[in-house]
Amino acid sequence: MNARTPTETRSPRMEPLARLPVFLSLQGRRAVVAGGTPGAAWKAELLSAAGAAVDVYAREPSDELLAVAGDAPGGTITVHRRDWQAADLDGAAIAIAACENDSQAEHFATTARACGVPVNVIDKPKFCDFAFGAIVNRSPLVIGISTDGAAPVFGQAIRAKLEAMIPRGFARWADAARRWRHAVQTSGLSFNGRRRFWQLFTAMAARNPDYEPEQVDYIRLLTETEAEGSIVEKGSVVLVGAGPGDPELMTLRAVRALQSADIILYDDLVSVEVLDFARREAKKMLVGKTGYGPSCKQGEINALMVSLAKAGKRVVRLKGGDPMIFGRAGEEIAACRDAGIAVEVVPGITAAQGAASRLGISLTHRSEARRLQYVTGHAADGRLPRDVDWRSLADPSATTAVYMPVKTLAELSATAIAEGLDPATPAVAVLRATRADQVTIAASIAELPARLSSADVSGPVIVFIGRVFGEIASRDVMQTAPARTHSPGVRP
């Protein structure tokens, strides 16, 4: 096996943005709205909610505008019953207009820009310096959604999903964060300590979204952070299961770990989409545990992990599937404990579970299987392990999942058959399980090695053996797309 040294992976460059999302402070500042339409009324209400003092110029204000002005949600809304003038724009922080035609829109936009005021003309994007998006309001937590005017209905649909996902109680937690921020900054905690405080704060908010945080909670979180003492300064290691490939199968805890990491040590088999969930500032290092290909030595990975944590870094060791299933997690946990480094494990959906879910097959169907067993396809030397329990593998009532099977499957199959496994036993190889390019190869266990060797194999592979796969194996086909249990956009 060729040696490999850990290499840093540069974070991908920011993809092009149709619009730059900016959150503008308007508290106590003057805003101008020209026009009295219902659309202008909505913009005046939005500006007032942001704390602006809104001057509206409209010869004939709509009932909606007058109603909003009479019950402004924040800053004052003053309606001037006349057309706007150039002097009205002097000193404004922002200017919005509802115009009947392009000529009026161009005149307003040109005048506003001459005064140095950013401008928006409602429903006329070519005259706009900025655009309003759909808003999820958990102020001071505010989320803006923009489709650059291409699909407002789509933006509203995304907003509706976010509204359902984000508890309204998060507004109270965000407000508590605003109240406590200065106290945390002046608490005497180190940089790592302050970060740890906010990690504990976030975890508490996620567990109790509808709770109203009080001063006693601040004291409790501060005390807990201080109690961790030197552990915080030493840094830590978290072994995180990335799941089989589909990033949506990661746990919430795994996502939180990625978003709080300083450094991520990851394997080749971790999908790129999973890394997109990491904190952008986190350093990402490929440590190349691929199986049969060039790989970093386990001892080097352990030493790197420990040295980074001793330097005060929060290290995430990111592994495909579940770190506790053939992931050599035991060695890494031992290395951290021997060095006095705090270590925890975030489990992930292992490849067998992910692949079975996409196939729609119960691995323990009660009429076909009474035992589920996980077997590794190779030992430390890359060969078929010498201590395989062949009697167990040949049990017709067992479902077997073989990890890392590519190089040794032919030998495993032949030996298992010689030891009593029925050569007609159904078997399935799943390549790149749960990913968009998943491939399924089904046959009998006697025929599967030849089928797999003739396929273009890349990425992780898992092989299943057992009667529960009888229906799939009987089709005797290669499926080159992931199985779906429902049509796109339709919830099962």
Whose CA is closest to 4, among 277, 298, 256? 298
Structure tokens at 37: 């339409």
* Contacts for 378 with CB less than 8 Å, ≥ 6 apart: 291, 292, 384, 385, 404, 405, 407, 408
DSSP letters of 116-176? T--EEETT-GGG-SS---EEEEETTEEEEE--TTS-HHHHHHHHHHHHHHS-TTHHHHHHH
Confirm if 430 and 378 have CB atoms less than 8 A apart. Answer: no
Strands (E), 390-460: 398-403, 426-431, 439-444
**DSSP codes, 311-335:** TT-EEEEEESB-TTTTS-HHHHHHH
CB 173 within 8 A of CB 205: yes
Q: Is the peptide bond before 125 cis (omega within 30 degrees of 0)?
A: no
CA dist list (Å): 475 to 19, 469, 487: 50, 10, 22
Classify residue 458 by its DSSP letter: -
CA angle 337, 343, 347 (to 5 degrees): 130
Q: Which of 43, 124, 283, 289 is catalytic?
A: 289
| Catalytic annotation present for 422 | no
Whole-angstrom distance, CA of residue 293 vs CA of residue 461: 14
Q: Which helix (H) or strand (E) holds 8?
A: strand 7-9
Q: Is 284 annotated in the active site? A: no
Structure tokens belonging to residue 289: 């545990």
Owner of token pair 């420990």? 306
CA dist., res. 148 & res. 125, Å (int):
9
Catalytic position from the list 267, 283, 319, 322: 267
Q: How far is CA 299 from the centre of its chain?
A: 30
CA angle 92, 94, 99 (to 5 degrees): 110
Catalogue the active-site residues: 267, 289
